[in-house]
Amino acid sequence: MSERIVGANPDLAALAAAVLQPGFVGTTPPAWVCRWLGEGLGSVVLFARNVVDHEQVAALTATLRAERPDVIVAIDEEAGDVTRLESARGSSRPGNFALGAVDDVDLTEEVARDLGAELAAVGVTLDYAPDADVNSNPANPVIGVRSFGADPALVARHTAAWVRGLQAGGVAACAKHFPGHGDTRVDSHHDLPRIGGDRARLDAVELAPFRAAVSAGVQAVMTGHLLVPALDPELPATLSSRILGGLLRDELGFHGVVVTDAVEMRAVADRYGFAGAAVRALAAGADAICVGGERATEADARELRDAVVAAVLAGELPEERLAEAAKRVGQLAAWSVAARADRPAGPRPGAGSAVGLAAARRALRVVADRPARLPLAGPAHVVEFAPPRNIAIGEETPWGIAAPLAGLVPGTTTARYAQDEVPADPAGGAAGRPLVLVVRDLHRHDWMRAAVGRALAARPDAVVVELGVPELVTGGLHVATHGATRAAAQAAAELLAGTR
């Protein structure tokens, strides 16, 4: 029945398609995506599954653009632990937390401009970044090193610098996750987080970076699937007209595109349904519906499009609101076309980022009882403790310092343990060698703390390298990288090997 309704209302169907940002499976655009681009679809989003290398992504986006020259091509590329363009190797740039540790806004702007030029060179026009969340809760399972830090003023100034840099590189920035995902212990991929605090607290902490992003001219803002009772006691931010209209539009003065976080995420889909969440988001003031991380077929996109059309015909979604959303998406597409025409020449695709490695080196922090213990006195045994990944980071991106350290110090060996794999003696195998213990967010994992404690009891001379948030500093020699990117790992390996 929905297909007959859509077929009888082609203009309405085109408007509905215009506000979708679907993903797809494959390293070339499937036929349905190409067909939909000719029928009104305005955007697509790329994930790690769509990326082989820079040349392939450039060919993919050229194919999309041959169908629709102003198509918005989005990607979730934070240039940190969350990377899609470099998912096979790890990011060649440090993430937000490392940049916040350095606290040089010129450096942050330079790193973001470098990334923007690289994304533009392969045909990406919208980046779901920067993460503007204030990581005020160290137990946060999904933000952590994706944030610039726990200080609202620091996060605000670096969010603005990142927006300026990325957009100077020719790619639209998208500050997320509005109104702020930092003060929670819940991952919205799995359930609905609740953000406490009164309005004064929200103004002073969560909202400060978003005000800075708007002032910096950010082109898009991504909503968070968050219940914020001080703003709306009933509806998650993505579905709340009070938050999207009253706060973001009216109070903060944002005039760009409001993009939802993925509508298949359980925080909203479990409560309102996959299509129901999309319709409610549009009615509340969202302009673009991100989908496809987990639901990436034509049937999924059709379900959303048909539900939007049906909601308009039923009077649940005003046609004027849908038309307004489609207009804003079109304005972002026009901005992107102009930015592509005006952008400076970018780096050679796949060349890596020299500025990224230099920044990662500056982000290293060493706490030592005897600084002379560096560099290591020969080939080491590296033990890496692997916590569960969250969906945002993904399972496909490599991490750890063992590989780059072995490249600098031949003979280095490694072991990696997940929670149920740690032996009674984690330091075993390191006899006569320097021992390096590699952790991610040690403070959040009881099993990891226990294992590291046993290893340090046996080998108090071991080096602890923290690739996550260094909330817990332990051991006589502690190195914090403020992120698990390839650049961070290389910088730490150089420090341990004494090659810097």
What CA–CA distance (Å, rounded) separates 482 from 337?
35
Point out the catalytic residue in the list 114, 261, 306, 441. Answer: 261
Q: Which two tokens stand for residue 379?
A: 């080939």
The residue annotated as part of the active site, out of 54, 177, 181, 189, is 189
> Does the active-site annotation cover 131?
no
Neighbours of 143 (CB within 10 A): 25
Q: Are 120 and 77 in contact (CB under 8 A)?
A: no
For CA atoms 178, 179, 183, 185, give the dihedral sign: negative
User: What is the spatial distance between Cα 144 and Cα 133, in angstroms, rounded to a whole number?
Assistant: 9
Angstrom CA distances, 397 to 40, 83, 115, 216, 254, stand at: 34, 8, 18, 31, 34
For residue 199, what are the contacts with CB-CB under 8 A and spacing of at least 6? 230, 231
**1-8: long-range contacts at Cβ-Cβ below 8 A with a sequence spacing of 24 or more?**
2/306, 2/307, 2/309, 2/310, 3/306, 5/306, 5/309, 5/310, 5/313, 6/305, 6/306, 6/309
In terms of residues, how long is the chain?
A: 500
| Rounded-to-integer distance, Cα 86 and Cα 486, Å | 9
| CA–CA dist 129, 115 (Å, integer) | 11
Residues 87, 51 contacting (CB under 8 angstroms): yes
Q: How far is CA 257 from CA 27, 137, 174, 213, 325, in A?
A: 27, 29, 9, 13, 8
Q: Is 261 a catalytic residue?
A: yes
For the CA atoms of the chain, what is the radius of gyration? 23
Q: Which residue has the tokens 């919208």?
A: 126
177: cis peptide before it, omega within 30°?
yes
Annotated catalytic residues are 189, 261
